[in-house]
Structure 1
Amino acid sequence: MGMSVSSGGSGRGGRGHRRRGRHHGLMSEINVTPFVDVMLVLLIIFMVAAPLLTVGVPIDLPETQAKPMNSETQPITVSVNQAGEIHLQETVIPLDEVVPKLEAIAKTGYEERIFIRGDKSADYGTVMKVMARISAAGYKNLGLVTLQEQDK
């Protein structure tokens, strides 16, 4: 009756579960996956929110075939709605206060870009009065805002 006796506890030469020559120390690498995930979520949030940050005065703009302008900075917007009210950004102001308010908020002085938005059913004379006052004050970079004409 032959019995065999092993010389170790696990059958691997008496060394247990250890492997020769390897030590498992602390991992000293930075895991950037959570950082990338957070940045992608923030990117999506800002892409969705950016169009909502435009001027909120409801204006029905006329359509033209003009090409869009390239813009690197946010211009000051003056709007004339259907009722003839004048809005500087989103604040209603009288015609006499347009130029003083522009001078107060224009960061680059008379070189500031100013967009004039006029509702297509607004009085043409009111839109031209606003534009004439701004131009007479010395502002050079004026633009009329329109929608791009759609092919029908």
Structure 2
Amino acid sequence: MGVLEAIRSRGNDLRPQAEINVTPLVDVMLVLLIVFMVTAPMLTAGLPVDLPKATTAHPLERSEPIVVTLDRDGNAQLGDKGVAVDGLGDAILTLTAGDRTRAIHVRADRECRHGALVAVLDQLGAHGLSRIAILTERAPGVRAPRQDDKPRDSR
């Protein structure tokens, strides 16, 4: 029974309205949606690193890679969990159930020591993991190389 019908009825037969007001529910849901949209990109970041620039970098294939991150102090992180460099190969093989064909992306900070990066690559190679890519950022204003571009002879 609507409000007008209750007023028009004779006597004091005012009963509570049996309809749900969904406006506050919609407001809360929209606020939650905005909060999740803002925070979702921050959850996938991991360690903050400053990637070096490369002009000849080619785009990688679109599969779900395993991401190894090295910060400037040489601390390693596998996905979002910290791991010791000497246990990195075993941790990856455990994560992939022994699959050695998965792509591994190494994100190393520009200020990371060369020896720390070599230690990670050596650890991966010792466990038979050979599909390794070292991630870089493209230098601004540089044209992306095409697959048919041939290296120029420096002579």
Question: Structure 2: which 5+ residue stretches go unaligned?
Answer: 1-35, 143-155
Tell me how far 1:66 sits from its aligned partner: 2.6
Q: Counterparts of 1:47 and 1:140 in 2: how far apart (Å)?
A: 36
1:83 aligns with one of 57, 73, 78: 73
Contact 1:65 1:149 in 2 (8 A): yes
Percent identity of equivalent pairs: 24
What is the aligned partner in structure 2 of residue 141 from structure 1? Answer: 131
Q: Counterparts of 2:60 and 2:71 in 1: how far apart (Å)?
A: 25
Q: Counterparts of 1:49 and 1:68 in 2: how far apart (Å)?
A: 30
What is the aligned partner in structure 2 of residue 115 from structure 1? Answer: 105
Tell me how far 1:67 sits from its aligned partner: 3.5
1:58 and 2:48 are equivalent in the alignment: yes
Tell me how far 1:92 sits from its aligned partner: 1.2
Change (3 A) 1:67 1:88: same
Q: How does 1:3-152 map to 2 (within 5 A)?
A: 51-52=41-42, 54-106=44-96, 109-151=99-141
Letter in 2 for 1:71: E
Contact 2:73 2:112 in 1 (8 A): yes
Letter in 2 for 1:145: L
Q: Counterparts of 1:57 and 1:133 in 2: how far apart (Å)?
A: 21
Give the TM-score taking structure 1 as reference length. 0.62
Question: Structure 1: which 5+ residue stretches go unaligned?
Answer: 1-45
Contact 1:55 1:89 in 2 (8 A): no
Length, aligned pairs only: 109
Q: Which has the larger radius of gyration?
A: 1
Q: Counterparts of 1:55 and 1:106 in 2: how far apart (Å)?
A: 21
Q: Counterparts of 2:37 and 2:60 in 1: how far apart (Å)?
A: 19
Give the TM-score taking structure 2 as reference length. 0.61
Letter in 2 for 1:124: H
3-state SS in 1 of match to 2:100? helix
